[in-house]
Each structure stands twice: as structure tokens, then as C-alpha cells.
Amino acid sequence: MRAVPLAERADGLATLRQIETRGYLAYAYQAKVNEATWLRIAVGAFASRGEAAAFGRVFAAAEGMDFFVTRAPIRVLPGAGELDFVVTPSALWVRGGDGARKVFTFATEAPNDGRLPAAILPELSPDSDAIAFVYDDRLYTATVDGDAALALTEPGAPWVAADTDYEWRPGWSPSGRYVAFLDQAFWEYPIELWVARADGGELRCLACNRDGQSRVRWFVWHPGEDRVLFVEGFAMGTVAVGGGLYSAEMDGTVRTVIAVERGGKREDYEEIAGPLRIEDGFLHFRRVRWLDDNFEQISITDDRLPIGRL
């Protein structure tokens, strides 16, 4: 709808606020044009250029503003009841029904995080009526009701962050009552497994750096919602790709399902790796064995265990 040089972002953001007050889903993002950085102010999220152009003509006639159609770094997650969560570089919106409502603002100044929206790790609940996401080292949830997003954690305790080198996502429990997540998910950091009530009522650690050097790599909820299955391995160094398979109950009791095999010889060493998934009554995972003494080549085989044994 409008683009201004980044040096004039105050003027562009004033336009953004003006459009938002009129009830439009609007957002700002930075874009490179001929080696210069511009701030673009955009309106709407559309599945095709034709749909966007049709809206643009109606918008221009109603608001007296010119428009142009271009791709924008946004993500639309279909929600329940014909509502959508729209993740833009500057805010999270709930769209549908009689309009759109902004439920969380990512940046009060000109947005400058080119990784958004992927960097917030957005994850829909099982019924698609809520979304969990990470921003500014905290975990949040938002619902299709359009109310303001709810913070489930405080800054730094636990430290909830997205790292491009350590992939993970918040994990909803089967009923949508809880969200599991990782604390300080960075390479060579001790990484803990936590659970929060989706409504903000409770926060607890299930696997709390049990030996001072371990990190949780992957996790998945048991269908009974009374425990979380996870892979935990050694935090320091880059050789370990997985670890042992464990089960954590909601009171923090941890049980070993498959221990890491660390024999005296390299060929006797085996790890469990993810991603973990539950399908057709089985927990699916991978087994990893090293093929050389320099720990550079690995053998990966798929395996599974009946849920009834977990």
C-alpha cells in the first residue's frame, strides 16, 4: 500500500497506525529495493495476486490511497471456525468473521527481524483454536477469540528462545490443555524440558538438567497426556546426535525407556534420535550408530515401540 525509505520510517509507521485504526489487517516490513532499504506498509493477506488486486481496488476507492501488489513475508495458519491466525513481521492477528484483530505486537519500531514469521515457532493446538509461539525469550499462547496473547513464562526463567541451529517447536498436549517447550535451546547448552498450562495457570520443569551436562533434543506427548517422551543426550561437543529415550511424568518423575549403549568399542555405541512421532499406536524414532573411529559417518535406521509399552 505504501513504501518509504527506512530513514522516513516514522512517517510510514504513522500510516500503519492510521490504517489499523480503520479496522484493516495491516503490517510493516523491511525490503531491499535497488540496494536501498525501504519500509513497506501492507494491508491484507491473500492466496493469489488476483485476489489481492481485487481487494486493492476496493481499498483504494474507500481510502483514497494508491496500492501495488507484491509478495510479503507472512504466514497464515488456518484456525477453527473459519478463522485464521496471520503471522506478519510486525504483529500476530486473528482474521475472520467480521474483520481482524491484532492480538500481539512483535515490534513497536520498524520491524527488522528478517526471520519473522518463522522465528516465533508458531504451532497450532490440536483443535486449531489456539496458537503457541515464542518471542523475546518468552512463550505465549493466543486463541481464535481474538483476546490479547497470554505470556506463559517470565523473561529468563525459563529462557525460551528460537535458535536457527537447534530446531524445535512448542508441543501441545492432545487435549490442548498444556504446552511443552524447551529451556535455553542452544547448541552445547544444558537444555531442559518444561510444561506450561495453556491458560497460564501452571508452569513446571519435567527434565531439569539432571546431570548438569544433558540436553533434551526431541519430545512428544504420550496420548494419555500424563507424560512426555523425550530424547536426552550429552550437551558438550558436537559428536552426539541423539541420546537415550526417556519418559517424564507430570510430577517430574523420569523413567528410562532405552538407555544409550556405550560399549568399549565404537561399533557398540548407539544413540536414539528423532524426530519423535506417534502414529498408529506406535512411537516412531531412529537408531544411530557410528561407522568410523573419527565419528564422521553414521548409520540411521527407523524403529518403533508400541505405545502400550511406554
The mean per-residue pLDDT over the stretch 118-142 comes to 94
Q: What is the pLDDT of residue 263?
A: 60
Q: Are 277 and 286 in contact (CB under 8 A)?
A: no
251 pLDDT band (50/70/90 cuts)? Answer: very high
Average pLDDT, rounded, for the chain? 88
Q: How far is the C-alpha of 165 from the C-alpha of 199, rounded, in Å?
A: 30
Higher pLDDT, 35 or 226: 226
279 pLDDT band (50/70/90 cuts)? Answer: very high
Q: How far is the C-alpha of 237 from the C-alpha of 241, rounded, in Å?
A: 10
Exposure letters 237-260 (e unless 16+ CB within 10 A, then b): eeebbbbbbbbbeeeeebeebbeb
Q: What is the pLDDT of residue 235?
A: 73
119 pLDDT band (50/70/90 cuts)? Answer: confident
241 pLDDT band (50/70/90 cuts)? Answer: confident
Domain 177-310 has CATH 3.30.420.40: no
Name 31's bridge partners: 38
Instruction: Give the Cα-Cα-Cα angle 200, 246, 118 (nearest 5 degrees).
Output: 50
Q: Which three cell numbers stand for residue 260?
A: 544409550
Q: How far is the C-alpha of 57 from the C-alpha of 66, rounded, in Å?
A: 9
What are the boundaries of each domain within the chain? 177-310
Q: What is the pLDDT of residues 71-99, one digit of tens each?
A: 888 999 999 999 999 999 889 999 998 88
Q: What is the pLDDT of residue 208?
A: 85
Residues making up the chain, counted from first to last:
310
Cα torsion 244, 134, 111, 27: sign: positive
pTM: 0.90
Max Cα–Cα distance, the chain, nearest Å: 76
Q: What is the pLDDT of residue 186?
A: 73
Q: What is the pLDDT of residue 238?
A: 56
Residue of 24, 151, 149 lying closest to 95 (CA atoms): 24
Q: Which three cell numbers stand for residue 302?
A: 527407523
Q: What is the pLDDT of residue 110?
A: 53
Q: Are 26 and 19 in contact (CB under 8 A)?
A: yes
Q: What is the pLDDT of residue 281?
A: 96
Higher pLDDT, 65 or 294: 65
